[in-house]
Amino acid sequence: MGDDCETAALPADGPARICSYECTFCVPCGEAMGQVCPNCGGELVAGPRRRVAA
């Protein structure tokens, strides 16, 4: 997440953007970065959601 990100933590079942190296960002930060990972330059895409244990 960026330095000005207001998302404290991404919930396991929430939306996220992820690159091929598994760098993970919240959706607003991904959009602000043009869907390009600032760490590796890879494309940020929608990450899979995890099921939350009941």
So what's the pLDDT on residue 48?
A: 86
Q: What's the pLDDT at 4? A: 67
Tokens 């970065």, residue?
33
38: which residues sit within 8 A by CB, 6+ positions away? Answer: none
Tell me: the pLDDT tens digits for 7-25?
777 887 889 999 999 999 9
Q: How many CA atoms lie within 13 A of 8 on its CB side?
A: 0
What is the structure's pLDDT at 25?
92
19-52: pLDDT as tens digits: 999 999 999 999 999 999 999 999 999 998 877 7
What strands lie across the sheet with 17-18, from one edge to the other?
A: 24-25, 17-18, 45-46
Residue 54 — pLDDT band, cuts 50, 70, 90? low
pTM equals 0.76
